[in-house]
Amino acid sequence: MTELSLFQQSALDVVSLLKTGAISPLDVIYAMEARINEVDGAVNALPTTAFDRARKHAEALMQKPLDERGILAGLPVVIKDLTPVEGVRSTLGSPIYADHIPDQSGFVVTTLEAAGGVIAAKSNTPEFGAGANTFNTVFGATLNPWNTALSAAGSSGGSAVALATGMAWLAHGTDLGGSLRNPASFNGIVGMRPSPGRVACGPGSDPFNTLGVEGPMARNVTDLALFLDAMAVTDWRSPISLETPPRAFVDHALEARLPKRVAFSMDLGITPVDPSVRAVMDQAMASIADAGVEVIHDHPDFSEAHDAFQVLRAHGFASSLHELYTDHRDQLKPEVVWNIEKGLALGGAEIARAERLRGALFDRAALFMQGVDLLLTPATIVPPYPVEERYVTECDGIGFETYIDWLAIAYAITLTGLPALSLPAGFTPSGLPCGLQCIGATRGEADLLSHAAALEAILGLSPIPIDPRPTSPSN
């Protein structure tokens, strides 16, 4: 054991202790439960715990030899409340499912359990993952631990806060319009949107969907790569599941290869950016350039991203939630109703046009990535904002028409299918974290993780977990 408490140690280090038998899965569950009891009351990140189930799973795992306990070796993990866990309350953040106990787990849950992960808690999410501020009428709002008056972002906000405060070593999330990347940025941790099919999603009504993905969140890049290894397994249950990589992602991250040439764009030509975020990005890029990386200021043409994403997102909402809308419209929050109704009003020509725009955008982005190792942008365009504000309505004097417009810098990348992660980049003058979005080539998670680990070392922002802070710290 080191001088650090278990909750302060990295996932990689705790797994190493588990694999040698220095500690047991039950020891780690106990440490996690103690930390949740200590701090979650201040942030409301993990409203549902499953420690009895976790202990039973751990005890069964402990009957196996140490070398047969999987990649995670009994490490407890957190699952976002959009994904069902058999026998555990799974609400999707909706009053419609407030008391729902599923009898079947999601694909990623069974995959993680097969890899030695122990499901110990469900993390808070906005209703059906809609909106990048984690609140709902079932559990209330999740608060940002850097300043508990502020938003944790979303929709994987509960997972991000659990990591930032040491209540988890690894946490699962989902991403359609930035839901893995935005909360990572707001909370000073790492969140990755992998390529569609890298992590098998389901069961669901649209198994061919490539806009929404599931993925890993962690406190640093190597831990995130370890978690991706546990998730990224070929799965016959998913028609778009990719082959299990021949080499572990964590090995690529541990190599930490500095990129030779990166492109940086402050706004992708499609969005305003808050001056405080601009300042953090400028400093981060200066540090990267000083380390010997060639930095060019360029980006593909994303001018049609707004039109394409708004239509395809609305179409997806109408497809997946139409029945709930018909039967329970009065129980849905207004943003979800708006998205469903927008989708129901679409014509075939509009959907076809959006698909064509997306295809052209992919072509441009994939070609652009042949000339650089990474495309870098801010992960979010604003620092954390007051939690009572449902969403960002304006930035740098420019107003937004819808509740998702402020997410364009993330959802533009969603449309390309390129893997992307948010890496801690620095702090605003009021001490609030900002993330750097790092985008890799098509299906290029291995190189992305290796380069991100090198940038992480340059930026030097991987603090041990923090206790929730009722006011912003000063720099």
Annotated catalytic residues are 80, 155, 179
Q: Please state, in angstroms and rounded to a whole number, the distance separating the CA atoms of residues 464 and 467.
A: 10
Length of the chain equals: 475
DSSP secondary-structure letter at 428? -
> 343-352: long-range contacts (C-beta < 8 A, 24 or more apart)?
343/314, 343/315, 343/316, 343/317, 343/318, 343/319, 344/318, 346/311, 346/314, 346/315, 346/318, 350/311, 351/311, 351/312, 351/315
Tokens 């189930």 map to which residue? 53
The three-state DSSP-derived secondary structure of 227-256 is HHHHHCCCCCCCCCCCCCCCCCHHHHHHHC
In order of 91, 114, 162, 228, the CA distances from 101 in angstroms are 8, 21, 23, 27
Tokens 């994987």 map to which residue? 156
Beta strands in 12-141 (DSSP E): 48-49, 76-80, 118-123, 135-136, 140-141
Q: Please state, in angstroms and rounded to a whole number, the distance separating the CA atoms of residues 129 and 100.
A: 17
**Is the distance from CB of 90 to CB of 172 less than 8 angstroms?**
no
**Residue 68, Cβ neighbours under 10 Å: how many?**
10
Q: Please state, in angstroms and rounded to a whole number, the distance separating the CA atoms of residues 17 and 69.
A: 13
Q: Please state, in angstroms and rounded to a whole number, the distance separating the CA atoms of residues 346 and 376.
A: 34
Beta-strand relationship, 374-378 and 394-395: unpaired
Q: Is 104 left (phi over 0), alpha (psi -120 to 50) or beta?
A: beta
Tokens 């909106």 map to which residue? 131
Beta-strand relationship, 420-427 and 190-193: antiparallel
Task: Provide the 3-class DSSP secondary structure of residue 291.
Answer: coil
